[in-house]
Amino acid sequence: MQSAGTEEAKMGAGAVGPFDGMDGMDGMDGMDGMDGMVAAAAGPTGSWAQPRPIGLSPLPFGPGELRQGSGWPPRNILDPWPPRAAGTPWPDRAWTSYHHSITVMAEFVAYRPVGGEPPAWDAVLPNLADPWADGAVPTEPQVTDSTHFKALLARRAKAEDPALVLTDPATVERGLASEIEELALLIDFRPATLAEASVQASHILRYFEGVLSFNAASHPATVRLAAAAQRVAQFQAVYFKNIFRRTRPSMVSPRLLPPVDPPGHPSYPSGHATEAWMIALMLEQVMPRVVTVPRLPGGAAYPAVNRPLRRLAARIARNREMLGLHYPSDSAIGQSIAEASFPILLRCPSLGVVPARTFDGNGDPVKIPDPGRDADDLLNGAPAGLVGAARQEWGWP
């Protein structure tokens, strides 16, 4: 097994694998077939980009008359048909989910915090630096507070063996060995789970759609909202991947031999974990409460960790570990990024959850109030925008 502190860094600095559909994220290019919004109207591939050939259609003719054909517009229309007005608005329903998700991502990166608001999108993970960089000897608080993967490895090893010294570089290697051992124990699950994991590689939303059998035809706003959540999560994951540049597990240990090629981008955080958790958190705000926050027989809510959508997100992330493509710490930090980024996503104007930001006399933005939540952490009130439209699809008042 290679070293966490040296070999991962060296290999992470170069190419880490063949192009594979961006860790399941380039499946967004088809947005799980959502771009057609109504697959039946869009053709068998569910895409708006279907050809529409224009030929030479025969014009009416009588006996002995010259037989003529015409393209479009018909050549026998002498006065051109008038166009609609120049200000004809673009219908929101005509957006593809894929392209609309990019507009929401633009709103996401434009967010800037004021006062006690959530941090900027690129600050949702604090303390990114490697505590052991350049031979440094960190303090325990530096390791405890760090979000670098080496710190997570050290904390894992310390939790398993309290006698270890948290700041010792050897503790990092013990943590890596522990993660590799866990991944090796998952190999036996591959035959029974490979088909599921293969679909989830590029069609994460398809599994969430199965929870209550919805799709772009039945719940277009819900699908568009989920697509926006997935796009933002994808952006966040790749941004932090480029900072940490952690090598894939199968490039560290030959024991793992994944059944598919490792993706062509770094391992930490897991893009699948980030996307799945962001989708789950967003769908919880619009799908029926009886599903998103189910109740135990005594009336108490299930623990948040056991809510159906969250269990599905955890399952999708775990399946990537089972394939040998991600470490458990990749999944953990992906969940953290989704949870920290979600409040920013809720502030995107297209979602209609919070009022538009105003500006003071100096042109500086004024703090946006936190959206109200109930005891189950669901949004109060009747949001407008995309969240409101999605709730209406599920029968919210």
DSSP string, 237-299: HHHHHHHH-PPPGGGT-TT---SSPPPSS--SS-HHHHHHHHHHHHHHTTS-HHHHS-B-TTS
Of all residues in the chain, the percent with pLDDT exceeding 70 is 88
The answer to the question of residue 336 being in a domain is yes
The answer to the question of residue 306 being in a domain is yes
pLDDT given at position 77: 85
The residue ranking higher by pLDDT, 27 or 378, is 378
Count Cβ neighbours within 10 Å for each residue of 5-33 and write b for 16 or more, e otherwise.
beebbebbeeebbeebebbbbebbebbbb
Is a pLDDT exceeding 80 seen at residue 158? yes
pLDDT tens-digit readout, 314-363:
999 999 999 999 999 999 999 999 999 999 999 999 999 988 888 888 88
Asked which of 43-47, 97-101, 144-148, 238-242 is least confident by mean pLDDT, the reply is: 43-47
**Residue from 204, 226, 239 nearest 26 by CA:** 204
pLDDT given at position 115: 86
Is a pLDDT exceeding 90 seen at residue 45? no
Count Cβ neighbours within 10 Å for each residue of 191-219 and write b for 16 or more, e otherwise.
eebeeebeebbbbbbebbbeeeebbbeeb
The answer to the question of residue 362 being in a domain is no
Task: Specify the 3-state DSSP secondary structure of 301.
Answer: strand
Q: Enter the DSSP assignment of 201.
A: T
Is a pLDDT exceeding 60 seen at residue 87? yes
Instruction: Give the pLDDT band of residue 8 (cuts 50, 70, 90).
Output: very low
Is a pLDDT exceeding 80 seen at residue 43? no
Region 175-204 average pLDDT? 96
Q: From the CA atom positions of the chain, what is the Rg in Å?
A: 26
pLDDT given at position 49: 66
pLDDT given at position 365: 84
User: What are the C-alpha distances in Å from 375 to residues 282, 295, 378?
Assistant: 17, 13, 7
Asked which of 32-41, 228-237, 265-274, 343-352 is least confident by mean pLDDT, the reply is: 32-41
The answer to the question of residue 12 being in a domain is no
Contact status, residue 331 vs residue 321, Cβ threshold 8 Å: yes
Beta-bridged to residue 365, according to DSSP, are 359
The answer to the question of residue 273 being in a domain is yes
Q: Which of 56-65, 234-243, 300-309, 349-358 has the highest mean pLDDT?
A: 234-243
Residue 374: other Cβ atoms inside 10 A: 11
The answer to the question of residue 193 being in a domain is yes
Question: Looking at the 3D structure of the chain, how many domains does it have?
Answer: 1
In the numeric block, which tokens belong to residue 23? Answer: 């860790």
The answer to the question of residue 45 being in a domain is no
The residue ranking higher by pLDDT, 42 or 144, is 144
Beta-bridged to residue 301, according to DSSP, are 295
In the numeric block, which tokens belong to residue 31? Answer: 């947005």
In the numeric block, which tokens belong to residue 149? Answer: 């993967």
The answer to the question of residue 263 being in a domain is yes
The CATH code of the domain that includes 107 is 1.20.144.10
Region 140-146 average pLDDT? 97
Judged by phi (left if over 0) then psi (alpha if -120 to 50, else beta), residue 212 lies in alpha
Residues whose CB falls within 8 Å of the CB of residue 100, separated by 6 or more in sequence, listed in order: 224, 227, 228, 350
Burial zone of 166 (CB within 10 Å; 0-12 exposed, 13-18 middle, 19+ buried): buried
Structural domain that includes position 335: 27-32+96-113+189-353+371-393
Our measurement of the distance from residue 177's CA atom to the centroid of its chain's CA atoms, rounded to an integer in Å, reads 29
Instruction: Give the pLDDT band of residue 48 (cuts 50, 70, 90).
Output: low
Region 95-118 average pLDDT? 93
